[in-house]
Amino acid sequence: MTGFSEFGPPIPVEGGLRASTRRGSIGREWWSRRFIDVLESFADRNRLHRGRAYARQGQVIDLRVRPYEVSARVQGSRPEPYEIAIGVTAIGEEAWRAVEAELASRAVFRARLLAGEMPPEIEWVFAELGVPLFPQSAHDLHLMCDCPDYGDPCKHAAAVLYLLAESFDRDPFLLLAWLGRSRERLLQGLRRLPVEGAPDPFDVGDEPLDVAGFWTPGAGPAALRDRPTAAPGPPDLLLRLLDPPSVKVRRRPLVDVLGPAYEAMPDV
């Protein structure tokens, strides 16, 4: 049945999901392109070509991302749309805690994630911990479609995969949500975990207080100038690291209002 193809053109879908790119590659950001490149490395190119055409014609009726599974409906030439499910292997809670601890150990890296960015280095973190961020082969994707084509993927599942990549373009955290970690839970974990090497503000140490030298003047300005400067970080680093306040200014979160002001601050 691998040679099965639908008879006639697909039934047009009013208001169907349509790929934003009309020609060429699908996927704009590095993580979306990486997902598509991996997919195209092991999937049947003819079915991928037909699936890409379906995605651009708007044949996908709906698409939903949940932990470990993407579900969708795709309209073919038959009256009833096909039901598609695309699963991935579950990442255990212990593995997720290890990923969060590694991500949180780097202040600037953590700040970029808290700002909604997906740095390329995140793939290395997952790989070092033995948790692949992207599928490595066809065995890592569990594709199910109720059409008669037993291709892996069939064109209906391929259309969903291409639109899934474009969804990752708009929200990179959908990729992590598919792997089992919602954006909210991941960011809560990053805010909660300490930065590696950062001093504990409540740890006063075991040294006794030197009362005799308490009033002794500290280092002068000249000594301060001789100290090496710290590595620069983004100007709004504190806004990204701290828990956002509930205050709003004209219905906008306070962090969004203060962000441009922090960006405009000159380096000192």
Give the count of domains, the chain.
Answer: 1
Mean pLDDT for 146-154 is: 87
pLDDT, tens digit, for every residue of 20-32? Answer: 988 888 888 999 9
- Mean residue pLDDT of the chain comes to 80
Q: Is residue 244 part of a domain?
A: no
Whether 200 shows a pLDDT value over 50: the answer reads no
> Helix 183-192 to helix 107-114 angle, to the nearest 10 degrees?
150
From residue 212, alpha-carbon distances to 128, 167, 208, 218 in Å are: 51, 64, 11, 14
Range of the domain at 96: 30-192
Q: Is residue 89 part of a domain?
A: yes
d(CA 241, CA 204): 23
Q: Is residue 90 part of a domain?
A: yes
Farthest CA pair distance, the chain = 93
Q: Is residue 251 part of a domain?
A: no
Q: Is residue 248 part of a domain?
A: no
Residue 266 is predicted with a pLDDT of: 56
Q: How many CB atoms lie under 10 A from the CB of residue 160?
A: 30
pLDDT, tens digit, for every residue of 204-231? Answer: 445 555 555 545 555 555 544 444 444 4
Q: Is residue 249 part of a domain?
A: no
Residue 232 is predicted with a pLDDT of: 47
pLDDT, tens digit, for every residue of 97-128? Answer: 999 999 888 777 788 888 888 888 899 889 99
Residue 150 is predicted with a pLDDT of: 80
Q: Is residue 52 part of a domain?
A: yes
Q: Is residue 85 part of a domain?
A: yes
Mean pLDDT for 233-261 is: 61
